[in-house]
Structure 1
Amino acid sequence: MPERVNKLFSRAARFAAVGGIATAIQYVFLVLLVEVAGTFEIFASALSFTLSALVNYLLNYYLTFGGSVAHRQSLPRFTVVAVVGLAINTLCFSLALTLLPYLLAQVIATLVTLVSNFLLHQFWIYREPEWNP
């Protein structure tokens, strides 16, 4: 397999691992906010998504994409993608919540945003000036 393809698959694997960590953090906060704090489910989902986004950014910046792009370039782009992701997450969660328990609704919302997030991270947020996966 060519080196570029290997690098892309390696990056995708690290991205998935970071996403798993961020998602676990999101779900822990979601459950704590709903079950312990009694927070409204949609607000709890949005807040937990936002909190996990910070972890996602830092881990992806340093581990997945190697910090090769300055924060002044990647952070504003990540913020735009996070806001778009928050909107997608909240919309999907709200719709799914009408039919499903909140944890299953969150699973649906999480799955819907996965592919678009990777593509936006890879080709826009952390894109190196001369992209070389």
Structure 2
Amino acid sequence: MIAGAGQADVAVLVVDATRGEFETGFDYGGQTREHALLVRSLGVSQLAVAINKLDTVNWSKERFDEIIQKLKVFLKQAGFKDNDVAFVPCSGLTGQNLVVKPTQKELIEWYQGPTLIEVIGKFIKYI
């Protein structure tokens, strides 16, 4: 990971939205904090945060917002600017909101933003 991150301008941080899993990776000494700090210290300034497995919490906007709230404070302290971080709800298992707009009713009721690939594409334009 270090070799790749050392040459990157953009990173994708994938976090697990499953209850208890995000907390394990973020609050209790897991790798989420470690990976974010590592890529920032290696010069990565743009970050796409894929909030994955949102299907396990029934596409809950409250859960999405809760994770964003915790991550925003930490990422700002790590040196990321608000404008250089994008949060995207998705599910790798079902493919929702990765490449094409979501079709899951519970997700499209509250999310009309870009897909993960669109976020990455916008970052790359500014490199």
TM-score, L = length of structure 1: 0.31
TM-score, L = length of structure 2: 0.32
Greater helix fraction, Structure 1 or Structure 2: 1
